[in-house]
Structure 1
């Protein structure tokens, strides 16, 4: 799952981003409205975590534009992270299009739990996925093939989760870079092939992920 984190606190933002990456999310960090808009013009995000008090504008105005400006790609889910704790502020944020509202200071564990809850609420992101003999629990960050637990790194886990959201469909290397990595990923590296090779070894035989020459990779329900 790819997350856009919009947070202007230069101490807090990197800490939250690191924590989310340790939870196997791909995270892009923006510190201004302008940075966020640039990322939203060219990338598809599953969730945006949006601070409201930004140095170059009000995050609430950006939140409203996400539903009206066709140049901006609206994330599937929107979570407000802000120090504004008045009831009217909460109401304004939710009425502007936010799916959830979390007041600072908050614990990272609560943020992670709310992101899992948003995942369960989404049409395309389920907490527990089943494809063939593969099972993946997003909340517990565990995966199994049959009865055998899989020992996956965060990136391998994230890649498998993306495949399991799109079983039977060819997924290109570019698409994997878009959703499993963040904006800092180099599109010319062999990162996708390296992680995919490791994941395939850990999944064992018969291999459920097959290559479609010139197109990408497919997770088969019946390998």
Structure 2
């Protein structure tokens, strides 16, 4: 399982991140200051670090220099939105930079992207009786293959990696089709309906009134 270290001194933000990443299938460990994080990095093994900049004891920039020799990808998560701050973080070696406040769906997408670039993504995803092979892009229920189109497959991954999160139609459209959402929900609705029918998930991917859809999975 992918293990992520969350280094964030605001515990409510840290817990929100932890809950959502855990729901997405990641194992998470939290540190609330730079010194505690350094100790965990020294003794543990992590596939990704989410790192705030303004930390007690040791700040994020200093901690990044400590992380660098260990070849662990880092995403800065910070309220410092200035271009100079972003450039400094990226030049020091961060893999990505996410500014607070942010949408959970964006955090999940950036985590997935960085893990994929660093070849640390889990190949197989198992949920609700199905197995997704992210390398071959195949979906199976036991020995039965479930044929999905490319867009249906991408929708499936989006819902699986955002389980129990209400996704707005515009978020879904922009993530899957890569274009600005113009307010026509028919494309999203049609593809979601076809995909969940093939999956037999009519009772799991539910419509959320005036929002979009949620993939409901019991803990």
> Please, what TM-score do these two structures have when normalized by structure 1?
0.56
Q: CA, structure 1 residues 122+144, in 2 after alignment: closer, same or farther (shift >3 Å)?
A: farther
Is residue 6–residue 50 contact of structure 2 (8 Å, CA) maintained in 1?
A: yes
1:30, 1:17 → 2: CA distance? Answer: 11
1:125, 1:143 → 2: CA distance? Answer: 19
Is residue 52–residue 58 contact of structure 1 (8 Å, CA) maintained in 2?
A: yes
Residues 1:56 and 2:37 are matched in the alignment: no
Q: Deviations over 1:17-39 (max 9, x none)?
A: 11111111000000001110111
1:112, 1:11 → 2: CA distance? Answer: 18
Q: How does 1:1-223 map to 2 (within 5 A)?
A: 1-68=2-69, 73-75=70-72, 77-125=73-121, 135-137=132-134, 144-147=141-144
Report deviation, 1:74: 4.2
Is residue 8–residue 30 contact of structure 1 (8 Å, CA) maintained in 2?
A: yes
Pairs aligned (count): 139
> Please, what TM-score do these two structures have when normalized by structure 2?
0.57
- RMSD between superposed Cα atoms in Å: 2.6
Is residue 78–residue 98 contact of structure 1 (8 Å, CA) maintained in 2?
A: yes
Unmatched tracts of structure 2, length 5 or more: 126-130, 147-159, 161-219
Is residue 8–residue 32 contact of structure 1 (8 Å, CA) maintained in 2?
A: yes
Structure 1 residue ranges, 4+ long, deviating more than 2 angstroms after superposition:
123-129, 134-138, 142-149
